Amino acid sequence: MSDNVVPIKRAIGADEPSLSPILSLTATAMNSVNQIILQRMQSEIPLIPALAGHLIAGGGKRMRPMLTLAGAELLGYEGTRHHLLAAAVEFIHTATLLHDDVVDGSETRRGKEAANIVFGNPATVLVGDFLFSRAFELMVEDGSLKVLKILSSASATIAQGEVDQLTAQRKIETSEDRYLGIIGAKTAALFAAASRIAAVVAEKDEAAERALDDYGRNLGVAFQLIDDAIDYDSDAAEMGKDRGDDFREGKMTLPVILAYARGTPEERQFWEEAIAGFRDTDEDLAHAVELIGRHDCISATRERARHFAQKACDALAMFPDSKARRAMVEAAQFAVSRGY
């Protein structure tokens, strides 16, 4: 145990935590990853790079491949195997985004029209399949069965989480634990896998693998909690997705779960109708935001996120202090502070 992991609460409020350290830590490697991504999304079928490029070139934070790169830095790995694997991770993520947009009927993604709107659902589903297959081709090219195992298992978990989320949709009775199970699968599993494979590539022991897995998993949960809070946060400066999408789709996220639990009988009646799909006007959304604010459900959700971010930081305590560790800690701090 190292004693110099910065407790997350101390850092917040002092200097504003930022992604800058992790971005500059991984900048050079990310250039290689981006080149691999652009190269490997090519195909003789022009629609494939056109559609994939629409999303991939459209920005995105490259959070997941960044975890692989940062983990490799943390462990002092000096090779380049992880570049290919980080690209594979981003392809898996991109494939799930494309399929999510079809599943949710999304209209925008990353501030522009979603691929399904521009190219239609059929092409979006199929290009997702292509990127997913391509991800496995990249992993096979690397040749580590251990990495293949980690990422194929994460992929199956993601799909199960997505189906579970679909099953819980419009179900007001969804509990906080069930919600945590869903985001643990649909979001955190890939964060965990992306981090973990850095330890595999660096040929570290099981304890290092587990520590990076814990870091990624807890960070992923924190990240998704904040995403879900921002969707109802009237103070939020950042809009991660279309405001009110979760509300209109009847998705049971933590702010709603808490507002329902803390609500008066009359408010609970509102939530039941809203989640069932009978209250979807702009006024209904405004009322939902008001109720969530009234019961402090945004700050409660942020508090939960802070708990998981703290666990993420603590998972790194086994590694000696380094620029990489500090950057990864600050990234976790940033994850819970963003949106203001």
- Which residues here bind a copy of itself, judged by CB under 8 A? 43-48, 95-96, 99, 102-104, 121-123, 125-127, 129-130, 132-134, 136-137, 139-140, 143, 145, 148-149, 152-153, 155-156, 158-160, 162-164, 166-167
CB closer to a copy of itself, 14 vs 47: 47
SS3 state of residue 181: helix
Closest approach, Cβ 74 to a copy of itself, in A, equals 26
CB closer to a copy of itself, 57 vs 166: 166
Closest approach, Cβ 152 to a copy of itself, in A, equals 4
CB closer to a copy of itself, 99 vs 279: 99
Closest approach, Cβ 116 to a copy of itself, in A, equals 11
Amino acid at 123: A
Closest approach, Cβ 169 to a copy of itself, in A, equals 9
CB closer to a copy of itself, 178 vs 243: 178
CB closer to a copy of itself, 99 vs 295: 99
SS3 state of residue 79: coil
Q: Which two tokens stand for residue 110?
A: 């990353």
Nearest residue to 10 (alpha-carbon basis) of 336, 340, 333, 338: 333
SS3 state of residue 112: strand
* Torsion angle, alpha carbons of 300, 218, 7, 207, to 10: 160
Answer left, alpha or beta for residue 193, where phi above 0 means left and psi between -120 and 50 means alpha: alpha
**What is the chain's Cα-based Rg?**
20
- The rounded distance, in Å, linking the Cα atoms of 89 and 39 is 15
**Polymer length of the chain:** 340
108 φ/ψ angles, rounded to the nearest 5 degrees: -135, 160
Distance of CA 246 to the CA centre of its chain: 16
Closest approach, Cβ 145 to a copy of itself, in A, equals 6
Distance of CA 206 to the CA centre of its chain: 24
CB closer to a copy of itself, 27 vs 45: 45
- The rounded distance, in Å, linking the Cα atoms of 316 and 90 is 23
H-type alpha helices, the chain: 8-11, 20-40, 47-56, 63-74, 81-104, 115-119, 121-142, 145-168, 176-183, 189-201, 206-230, 245-248, 254-262, 265-276, 282-294, 297-315, 323-337
CB closer to a copy of itself, 2 vs 133: 133
CB closer to a copy of itself, 163 vs 180: 163
Closest approach, Cβ 161 to a copy of itself, in A, equals 9
Closest approach, Cβ 85 to a copy of itself, in A, equals 14
CB closer to a copy of itself, 123 vs 254: 123
Closest approach, Cβ 199 to a copy of itself, in A, equals 18
Closest approach, Cβ 52 to a copy of itself, in A, equals 10
